[in-house]
Structure 1
Amino acid sequence: MKKFYKIGEISKLYNISSDILRYYEKIGLITPDMRGENGYRYYSQKQIWKLNNIRNLRNLGVSLDMITNFLNDRSMEKTKTVINFQLTKINEQLKKLLSLKEELEEKKKNIEYFENFSQFETPIIKEIEDRYVLYKEGNFKEEEEIDFELKKLKRLNFEDNDFIFTESEIGATIKLENWENKNYFDYNSTFIITTDKTEHIIPKGTYLTFTFKGSYENVIDHYENLKNFISSNNLTVTGDIIEIYHIEIHITDNIQEYITEIQIPVIIS
Structure 2
Amino acid sequence: MSSRKQGGGDDRLYQIGEVSRMGGLSQRMLRHYDELGLMEPDVVGENGYRYYSRQTMLKIPVVNYLKMMGFSLDEIASMQRHSNLLEARKLLGRHLEICEDEARRLSERREAIVDWAELVEEANTVLRVRPSAVSVKFLSSCELLCLPSRFSGSFADAIVSLDFASFVSDVKNVITGPVILGFDSVDDAVRAASEGRECDVRLLQKPMHPISGETSASLPAGMYLSAYHIGAFEDMGSTYRRVLQFAQESGYRPCGMAYERFVTDFWTTSNPDLFVTEVLLPTETE
Pairwise same-fold verdict (TM > 0.5)? yes
Aligned-partner residue type, residue 92 of structure 2: I
Change (3 A) 1:89 1:203: same
Is 1:194 matched with 2:204?
no
Tell me how far 1:252 sits from its aligned partner: 1.8
Between stretches 110-119 and 129-138, larger displacement belongs to 110-119
Is 1:96 matched with 2:105?
yes
Is 1:267 matched with 2:280?
no
Of 117, 137, 151, which residue of structure 1 is paired with 2:148? 137
Aligned-partner residue type, residue 266 of structure 1: T
Is 1:175 matched with 2:167?
no
Change (3 A) 1:158 1:70: farther
Give the TM-score taking structure 1 as reference length. 0.67
Change (3 A) 1:71 1:113: same
Q: Distance in 1 between matches of 2:272 and 2:139?
A: 27
Of 213, 230, 238, which residue of structure 2 is paired with 1:221? 238
Q: Which secondary structure state, in structure 1, belongs to the residue aligned with residue 236 of structure 2?
A: helix
Tell me how far 1:215 sits from its aligned partner: 1.4
Residues 176, 240 of structure 1: 8 Å contact kept: yes
Q: Distance in 1 between matches of 2:219 and 2:274?
A: 26
Aligned pairs (5 A) from 1:1-269: 75-117=84-126, 118=129, 120-141=131-152, 142=154, 143-147=156-160, 148-156=162-170, 158=172, 165=175, 167-176=176-185, 178-179=187-188, 182-184=191-193, 185=196, 186=198, 187-194=200-207, 196-199=209-212, 200-269=217-286
Change (3 A) 1:180 1:80: closer
Tell me how far 1:251 sits from its aligned partner: 1.5
Deviation string for 1:141-169 (max 9, x for gaps)? 22214422331342255456xxxx5x422
**RMSD, aligned CA:** 4.5
Tell me how far 1:227 sits from its aligned partner: 2.4
Structure 2 stretches of 5 or more lacking a match?
A: 1-14, 18-28, 30-35, 38-59
Q: Distance in 1 between matches of 2:221 and 2:167?
A: 22
Give the TM-score taking structure 2 as reference length. 0.63
Structure 1 stretches of 5 or more lacking a match?
A: 4-12, 14-28, 31-48
Change (3 A) 1:138 1:237: same
Change (3 A) 1:158 1:232: same
Residues 140, 146 of structure 1: 8 Å contact kept: no
Q: Distance in 1 between matches of 2:93 and 2:226?
A: 52
